[in-house]
Every structure is written in C-alpha cells, then in structure tokens.
Structure 1
C-alpha cells in the first residue's frame, strides 16, 4: 500500500468512527445496523482489518452517507477560498464548491458599484440574500427597495431584478440556485467600464499679440 493510499485508508476509518460518534452510537448500535459484529467493526475503525467494498457500502448506508463521501480524498488546496473580482459586484467569495447541496451556491459579495444597472435580469426560481454591512439598493420590477445591514430579502426572480450598493460599499451573503448563479455570477461583465468623458471646453481664442 502506497503512502497516499495508507493516508486515505486512515481518513476513511476516522470518518466512520467520527460519523458513528456524531450520531451518538456505540459500536454495537452501528454493527446492528450494518449486520457486522461489533468486534469486526472495531477492527475496521482501528485499522486492524481491511475494509472490503461490500462492508464499505453497508457501513456508508447505515451512517446515512455514501461511499463517495467516505472515500473522498482530502485536498488542503480546497481549504482557502480566494476572492474573485469583477466589474459588476466588486469582490465575490464562492463559499460553496461546485455541486453544492441541492445545486445551491453560497457566496459572499462585497459590492462597490452604486450606479443603476444597465439591465434587470429575469430567471426561474428565487433569490435570497442578507446584508452583512452597508445598505443594498434592490431593483425589483418598478420598485426600489433599500435593504440595510442585518436585514434580508427573498423574492421571485421572475420579476426583473438587480441590486447595487447604496451610499457606500456593502457586503451580502447570498444563496443562489443554478439559474441564479448563471445570471449573477457566471455571466458578469469583466470588461472595465470606460472612463467618463471629459466635458468639452470651448475653443480657446487666439492669444493677442504682446503690446509693441
């Protein structure tokens, strides 16, 4: 067994023991649910017995888990969540990985843009967010709603909608379904906005010749 396989094997055994203890089950209780003897289960958890695929399947089912979850490798590179910058929201932290629970995406946004959005988006489903700091200006159809820090909003996304910061940067925590993620995160405009044009100045008159 290679070092990587040995490490994963130890992680699997620790997960089985940890899930069992989290449920408050004794070895006898889990053994009865997966039709193994308590001594066999004890040796599996302590590494004194190899785990067969058949045993892993019934243990995972008894723990309300899956084999994929028990054997998922540990990757420390996934621990740190790095922000993503765009011209629409400012800064976005994706707090859930791809394929999150029920297809939902959890994200923290620091929104700096305060101008009215160019267009209001429509997509199936509902959006939800809570304001962590600052104030959000929510455009919802013909209405404009201010949502302050400590408040939350949820609404049907079949209504044309968008939200921006109001009177200074704001931070929100949002939950988006698949369509919401596509509309608000995957379809952002990453191109810099052109700088505002300078007001035209009247043509300067020719200088008078200096007195002779």
Structure 2
C-alpha cells in the first residue's frame, strides 16, 4: 500500500483479515499459504494481524496464491458494497435493481425489474444485437416479438433473439422479473 495515506494501516488490517478469511475458508494453515506465495509463516501471520505493511508485490503474490484479485482484497468496506439501490425510470414504468456490480462471464449482467406499465405501442419496439432472458417472479408479462404477443406468467421464463423487434410490459397490474442481459441489452433497457 502507499506510505503517504494516513489510513493505510486500516487498509493493511482489512487486507490482512481478508487474507486470513480466505486462507481459513480453504482449510489452509499459515505454512500451506506460505508455501504457495513464498513468504515465511511468521511474515504471513504479521500481515494477517495488520502488524506488517503489505507491499504491492506481496499483495499480488497473495492474491495469486489465494485465487482472487488485488481489487477484491483492497476493496473498501462500506454500505455501497452491500446495498443495491433501485434505478427508477418513470417514463418507461420500470424500477430496476442491478444484481451484479460488474459484468460476469461473456459480459452478462443480472437484474431484477419491476414493470408497472402495460406493453408499449408497436412503434416502440427496439432491436439490438444479442439475446434476452427473463423469469417472471410475480404477475404476468406480455412479451411482443415482432407480430407475436406472448403471455409469460409467474414461474415461467422466456429467451429470445433481440434482433427481433421486441418489448415487454405488465398485464393486469405490476409484474417483477429477473433478467440476464448482455451489454447491448443493458444499454437498451437502460438499467443505470
């Protein structure tokens, strides 16, 4: 970590706690981890308890040995890494919660969306590259794919090419879905 930050000792303690938690979760002793990252068990013990500064090169070795990333080891502890706040789009009649903070494999993102408006008019049928997937948690969703209108009820799922003009909306009251979107779908559905 950097020498000039007054809170760097707190960062070292946080990283040390995370290193210890990951080591223990894997069932490794200090000797086991030491053998994987080429530090002495005593040095690792001092790092885990925050009594020893952790250099960037040491941090990289620890992350590699523990099968994680440096950014996850040093991520700050605050409510932002816990609380998912909704994004409301009154004009579109949606409230969305992005359930993944970063894109997953293949750029995919998972979101929960509450739909409060009915199916939009035919002239609002966008297309974009990719595929959309969703599962209806509650209510009923009407999915328009080109000329077809498909009813998707609670407990059912839909998957379709987004190169087909498409839109969806709630039928008979609000509906909630869990959806998996690629980056193009995320932009098209304006989730944040």
What is the TM-score normalised by the length of structure 1? 0.78
Which position in structure 1 is the counterpart of 2:79?
Answer: 76
Secondary structure, in 3 states, of the residue corresponding to 1:185? coil
Distance 1:179 1:73 in 2: 30
Which position in structure 1 is the counterpart of 2:56?
Answer: 53
Secondary structure, in 3 states, of the residue corresponding to 2:179? strand
4+ residue runs over 3 A deviation: 115-118
What is the TM-score normalised by the length of structure 2? 0.85
Mean Cα deviation higher: 119-128 or 109-118 = 109-118
Structure 1 gap ranges (5+): 188-212
Structure 2 gap ranges (5+): none
Distance 2:25 2:98 in 1: 28
Counterpart of 2:124 (choices 115, 119, 131) is 119
Aligned residues: 186
Counterpart of 1:161 (choices 163, 166, 180) is 166
Distance 1:179 1:33 in 2: 40
Which position in structure 2 is the counterpart of 1:36?
Answer: 39
8 Å CA contact retained: 1:94, 1:108: yes
Distance 1:90 1:52, change over 3 A: closer
Mean Cα deviation higher: 26-35 or 114-123 = 114-123
Which structure has the greater CA radius of gyration?
A: 1
8 Å CA contact retained: 2:12, 2:53: no
Cα shift at 1:64: 1.3
Q: How far does the alpha carbon of each residue in 1:102-161 deviate from its partner, in whole angstroms, 9 at most, with x for none?
A: 433322111111144332221111111111100111112222211111112222212221
Higher strand share: 2
Residues 44-193 of structure 1: matches in 2 within 5 Å? 44-86=47-89, 87-97=91-101, 99-102=102-105, 103-117=107-121, 118-185=123-190
Cα shift at 1:78: 4.6
Distance 1:80 1:68, change over 3 A: closer
8 Å CA contact retained: 2:46, 2:52: yes
Secondary structure, in 3 states, of the residue corresponding to 1:134? strand
